[in-house]
Structure 1
Amino acid sequence: MDLETVKKHIRVLDDFEDDILTEYLEWSKTKVESSVTSTPHLYITFFESNSHYKRAVILLTAHYFNNRLPLSDKPQYNLSFGLRDALSHLNANFLMYQKELNESDEIEEIDEDEFD
Protein backbone atom coordinates (compact mmCIF):
# COMPACT_ATOMS: atom_id res chain seq x y z
CA MET A 1 0.00 0.00 0.00
CA ASP A 2 1.54 3.26 -1.03
CA LEU A 3 0.92 6.84 0.01
CA GLU A 4 -0.06 7.99 -3.49
CA THR A 5 -3.01 5.59 -3.60
CA VAL A 6 -4.28 6.89 -0.27
CA LYS A 7 -3.85 10.50 -1.42
CA LYS A 8 -5.93 9.81 -4.52
CA HIS A 9 -8.68 8.32 -2.39
CA ILE A 10 -8.87 11.33 -0.07
CA ARG A 11 -8.21 13.80 -2.90
CA VAL A 12 -5.02 15.36 -1.58
CA LEU A 13 -2.98 16.88 -4.39
CA ASP A 14 -0.02 18.40 -2.57
CA ASP A 15 2.68 16.90 -0.36
CA PHE A 16 2.23 19.32 2.55
CA GLU A 17 0.72 16.66 4.85
CA ASP A 18 2.59 13.59 3.60
CA ASP A 19 4.29 13.07 6.96
CA ILE A 20 1.02 12.87 8.89
CA LEU A 21 -0.64 10.81 6.16
CA THR A 22 2.26 8.36 6.29
CA GLU A 23 1.80 8.08 10.05
CA TYR A 24 -1.94 7.43 9.65
CA LEU A 25 -1.20 4.87 6.94
CA GLU A 26 1.17 2.98 9.24
CA TRP A 27 -1.35 3.08 12.10
CA SER A 28 -4.03 1.75 9.77
CA LYS A 29 -1.88 -1.09 8.49
CA THR A 30 -1.03 -2.14 12.03
CA LYS A 31 -4.65 -1.90 13.18
CA VAL A 32 -6.03 -3.91 10.25
CA GLU A 33 -3.31 -6.57 10.39
CA SER A 34 -3.67 -7.04 14.14
CA SER A 35 -7.43 -7.44 13.74
CA VAL A 36 -6.72 -10.56 11.68
CA THR A 37 -3.69 -12.18 13.35
CA SER A 38 -1.34 -11.63 16.25
CA THR A 39 1.64 -12.41 13.99
CA PRO A 40 1.14 -10.30 10.85
CA HIS A 41 4.85 -10.29 10.03
CA LEU A 42 4.51 -13.97 9.12
CA TYR A 43 1.84 -13.25 6.52
CA ILE A 44 3.18 -10.26 4.60
CA THR A 45 2.46 -11.93 1.25
CA PHE A 46 -1.17 -12.51 2.21
CA PHE A 47 -1.75 -8.89 3.17
CA GLU A 48 0.07 -7.37 0.21
CA SER A 49 -2.01 -9.34 -2.29
CA ASN A 50 -5.43 -8.97 -0.67
CA SER A 51 -7.83 -6.34 -2.02
CA HIS A 52 -9.92 -6.34 1.18
CA TYR A 53 -6.78 -5.45 3.15
CA LYS A 54 -6.10 -2.55 0.83
CA ARG A 55 -9.68 -1.31 1.11
CA ALA A 56 -9.68 -1.52 4.91
CA VAL A 57 -6.36 0.31 5.17
CA ILE A 58 -7.46 3.07 2.80
CA LEU A 59 -10.79 3.55 4.59
CA LEU A 60 -9.17 3.67 8.01
CA THR A 61 -6.39 6.02 6.88
CA ALA A 62 -8.96 8.35 5.32
CA HIS A 63 -10.96 8.24 8.55
CA TYR A 64 -7.92 9.15 10.66
CA PHE A 65 -7.02 11.95 8.26
CA ASN A 66 -10.50 13.42 7.90
CA ASN A 67 -11.24 13.25 11.61
CA ARG A 68 -8.12 14.84 13.07
CA LEU A 69 -10.13 17.31 15.09
CA PRO A 70 -11.67 16.23 18.41
CA LEU A 71 -15.18 17.05 17.14
CA SER A 72 -16.93 16.12 13.93
CA ASP A 73 -20.26 17.14 12.48
CA LYS A 74 -20.25 14.18 10.08
CA PRO A 75 -21.85 10.86 11.01
CA GLN A 76 -19.46 7.89 10.76
CA TYR A 77 -21.94 5.24 9.61
CA ASN A 78 -20.35 4.76 6.21
CA LEU A 79 -16.92 4.11 7.68
CA SER A 80 -18.28 1.58 10.12
CA PHE A 81 -20.09 -0.40 7.43
CA GLY A 82 -17.30 -0.22 4.87
CA LEU A 83 -14.57 -1.08 7.35
CA ARG A 84 -16.52 -3.92 8.95
CA ASP A 85 -17.31 -5.34 5.54
CA ALA A 86 -13.68 -5.21 4.44
CA LEU A 87 -12.47 -6.73 7.72
CA SER A 88 -15.00 -9.56 7.66
CA HIS A 89 -13.94 -10.50 4.12
CA LEU A 90 -10.29 -10.16 5.08
CA ASN A 91 -10.76 -12.46 8.07
CA ALA A 92 -12.53 -15.05 5.91
CA ASN A 93 -9.76 -14.85 3.31
CA PHE A 94 -7.16 -15.26 6.02
CA LEU A 95 -8.82 -18.40 7.38
CA MET A 96 -8.84 -19.91 3.88
CA TYR A 97 -5.22 -18.84 3.38
CA GLN A 98 -4.17 -20.53 6.63
CA LYS A 99 -6.09 -23.68 5.70
CA GLU A 100 -4.34 -23.82 2.32
CA LEU A 101 -0.96 -23.35 4.02
CA ASN A 102 -1.69 -26.16 6.46
CA GLU A 103 -2.85 -28.47 3.67
CA SER A 104 0.26 -27.77 1.59
CA ASP A 105 2.44 -28.51 4.66
CA GLU A 106 0.63 -31.83 5.15
CA ILE A 107 1.14 -32.74 1.49
CA GLU A 108 4.86 -31.96 1.74
CA GLU A 109 5.17 -34.10 4.89
CA ILE A 110 3.40 -37.03 3.22
CA ASP A 111 5.60 -36.79 0.15
CA GLU A 112 8.77 -36.76 2.25
CA ASP A 113 7.61 -39.80 4.22
CA GLU A 114 6.95 -41.78 1.05
CA PHE A 115 10.55 -41.46 -0.07
CA ASP A 116 12.13 -42.49 3.25
Structure 2
Amino acid sequence: MSGKLSTMRLSPCLLIILAVCCYETNAGNVCDAVLRESATFILGSKESLRKELEQYSAPPEAVEAKLDVKQCVDQMRYGDRLKVAGVLVQILLRCGVRGWLEKYFPGIPLGN
Protein backbone atom coordinates (compact mmCIF):
# COMPACT_ATOMS: atom_id res chain seq x y z
CA MET A 1 0.00 0.00 0.00
CA SER A 2 1.44 3.35 -0.94
CA GLY A 3 2.02 6.02 1.69
CA LYS A 4 -0.16 8.46 -0.23
CA LEU A 5 -3.10 6.04 -0.24
CA SER A 6 -2.67 5.39 3.50
CA THR A 7 -2.59 9.11 4.21
CA MET A 8 -5.79 9.62 2.24
CA ARG A 9 -7.48 6.91 4.28
CA LEU A 10 -6.60 8.75 7.48
CA SER A 11 -8.40 11.88 6.26
CA PRO A 12 -11.69 10.95 7.98
CA CYS A 13 -9.75 10.62 11.25
CA LEU A 14 -8.39 14.13 10.82
CA LEU A 15 -11.85 15.47 9.99
CA ILE A 16 -13.21 14.03 13.22
CA ILE A 17 -10.36 15.60 15.17
CA LEU A 18 -11.05 18.92 13.46
CA ALA A 19 -14.73 18.70 14.36
CA VAL A 20 -13.99 17.90 18.00
CA CYS A 21 -11.28 20.52 18.38
CA CYS A 22 -12.93 23.36 16.52
CA TYR A 23 -16.55 22.97 17.50
CA GLU A 24 -17.47 26.55 18.39
CA THR A 25 -18.15 25.86 22.07
CA ASN A 26 -14.95 23.85 22.53
CA ALA A 27 -12.41 25.95 20.62
CA GLY A 28 -10.55 26.98 23.76
CA ASN A 29 -11.14 23.76 25.71
CA VAL A 30 -9.79 20.95 23.59
CA CYS A 31 -10.18 17.52 25.08
CA ASP A 32 -6.69 16.43 26.15
CA ALA A 33 -7.64 12.78 25.88
CA VAL A 34 -8.69 13.02 22.23
CA LEU A 35 -5.53 14.84 21.25
CA ARG A 36 -3.22 12.59 23.24
CA GLU A 37 -4.85 9.48 21.80
CA SER A 38 -4.69 10.91 18.28
CA ALA A 39 -0.98 11.69 18.54
CA THR A 40 -0.30 8.24 19.99
CA PHE A 41 -2.37 6.64 17.24
CA ILE A 42 -0.39 8.38 14.51
CA LEU A 43 3.16 8.36 15.91
CA GLY A 44 3.27 6.16 19.00
CA SER A 45 3.76 2.45 19.43
CA LYS A 46 0.99 -0.11 19.52
CA GLU A 47 1.74 -0.74 23.19
CA SER A 48 1.59 2.95 24.10
CA LEU A 49 -1.76 3.18 22.31
CA ARG A 50 -3.04 0.16 24.25
CA LYS A 51 -2.03 1.84 27.53
CA GLU A 52 -3.71 5.07 26.46
CA LEU A 53 -6.95 3.26 25.58
CA GLU A 54 -6.95 1.25 28.83
CA GLN A 55 -7.47 4.49 30.75
CA TYR A 56 -10.99 4.81 29.37
CA SER A 57 -12.41 1.39 30.29
CA ALA A 58 -13.28 0.80 26.65
CA PRO A 59 -14.71 -2.61 25.73
CA PRO A 60 -11.90 -5.02 24.81
CA GLU A 61 -13.38 -5.47 21.32
CA ALA A 62 -13.16 -1.72 20.71
CA VAL A 63 -9.54 -1.60 21.91
CA GLU A 64 -8.60 -4.53 19.66
CA ALA A 65 -10.36 -2.92 16.68
CA LYS A 66 -8.42 0.33 17.22
CA LEU A 67 -5.18 -1.64 17.54
CA ASP A 68 -5.94 -3.44 14.26
CA VAL A 69 -6.28 -0.07 12.53
CA LYS A 70 -3.08 1.09 14.27
CA GLN A 71 -1.31 -1.87 12.71
CA CYS A 72 -2.27 -0.51 9.28
CA VAL A 73 -1.11 2.99 10.21
CA ASP A 74 2.22 1.56 11.35
CA GLN A 75 2.77 0.16 7.85
CA MET A 76 2.97 3.70 6.52
CA ARG A 77 6.43 5.18 6.15
CA TYR A 78 7.30 7.16 9.25
CA GLY A 79 7.80 10.27 7.14
CA ASP A 80 4.21 9.99 5.90
CA ARG A 81 2.99 9.58 9.47
CA LEU A 82 4.91 12.73 10.38
CA LYS A 83 3.10 14.53 7.58
CA VAL A 84 -0.25 13.41 9.00
CA ALA A 85 0.89 14.58 12.44
CA GLY A 86 1.88 17.89 10.86
CA VAL A 87 -1.65 18.30 9.53
CA LEU A 88 -2.95 17.62 13.03
CA VAL A 89 -0.64 20.34 14.38
CA GLN A 90 -1.95 22.79 11.76
CA ILE A 91 -5.54 21.94 12.76
CA LEU A 92 -4.70 22.53 16.40
CA LEU A 93 -3.04 25.87 15.67
CA ARG A 94 -6.04 27.05 13.66
CA CYS A 95 -8.32 25.99 16.49
CA GLY A 96 -6.40 28.11 18.98
CA VAL A 97 -4.77 25.40 21.06
CA ARG A 98 -1.16 26.54 20.86
CA GLY A 99 -0.91 26.18 24.65
CA TRP A 100 -1.87 22.50 24.45
CA LEU A 101 0.79 21.85 21.83
CA GLU A 102 3.43 23.67 23.86
CA LYS A 103 2.44 21.70 26.99
CA TYR A 104 2.48 18.21 25.48
CA PHE A 105 5.02 18.70 22.69
CA PRO A 106 7.60 21.20 23.98
CA GLY A 107 10.15 22.07 21.38
CA ILE A 108 7.86 21.35 18.41
CA PRO A 109 8.36 24.09 15.80
CA LEU A 110 5.10 26.05 15.76
CA GLY A 111 6.16 29.08 13.75
CA ASN A 112 4.82 32.52 14.58
The verdict on a shared fold, with TM-score over 0.5 as the criterion, is no
When normalised by structure 2's length, the TM-score is: 0.27
From the CA coordinates, give the structure whose radius of gyration is larger. 1
TM-score, normalised with respect to structure 1: 0.26
Which structure dedicates a bigger proportion of its chain to helix?
A: 1
